[in-house]
Amino acid sequence: MSKVKAAIFASGTGSNFLAITEQATADQLGCEIVLLVCDQPDAPVIQLAKRYRIPVLVFRPKSYSGKEVYEEEIRAKLQELDIEWIFLAGYMRIVGDTLIDAYPNRIVNLHPSLLPAFPGKDAIGRAYQANVPTTGVTVHYVDAGVDTGPIIDQISVAIEVEDTEEILKQRIQQVEHHFYSSVIQQLIDASDDGSNL
Ligand code: GRF
Q: CB atoms < 10 A from the CB of 136, how many?
A: 22
Task: Measure the CA–CA gap between 137 and 126, rounded to whole angstroms.
Answer: 14
Task: Measure the CA–CA gap between 150 and 109, rounded to whole angstroms.
Answer: 10
Mean pLDDT of the chain: 96
Instruction: Give residue 60 CA to ligand 1 midpoint distance, Å.
Output: 20
Binning pLDDT at 50, 70 and 90, where does residue 2 land?
confident
Ligand 1 atom having least distance to the Cα of 17 = 13
Ligand 1 atom having least distance to the Cα of 15 = 14
Task: Measure the CA–CA gap between 61 and 87, rounded to whole angstroms.
Answer: 19
Task: Measure the CA–CA gap between 127 and 80, rounded to whole angstroms.
Answer: 41
User: 97 CB contacts (<8 Å, ≥6 apart)?
Assistant: 68, 144
pLDDT at 192: 79
Binning pLDDT at 50, 70 and 90, where does residue 1 land?
low
User: 29 CB contacts (<8 Å, ≥6 apart)?
Assistant: 20, 23, 181, 184, 185, 188
pTM for the full model? 0.96
Q: Is pLDDT of 194 > 90?
A: no
Tens digit of each residue's pLDDT (9 = 90 or more) over 92-135? 999 999 999 999 999 999 999 999 999 999 999 999 999 999 99
Q: Is pLDDT of 196 > 80?
A: no
Tens digit of each residue's pLDDT (9 = 90 or more) over 42-99? 999 999 999 999 999 999 999 999 999 999 999 999 999 999 999 999 999 999 999 9
Examine the residue annotation and report whether 177 is marked as an active-site residue of this protein: no
The answer to whether the CB of 38 falls within 8 A of the CB of 65 is no
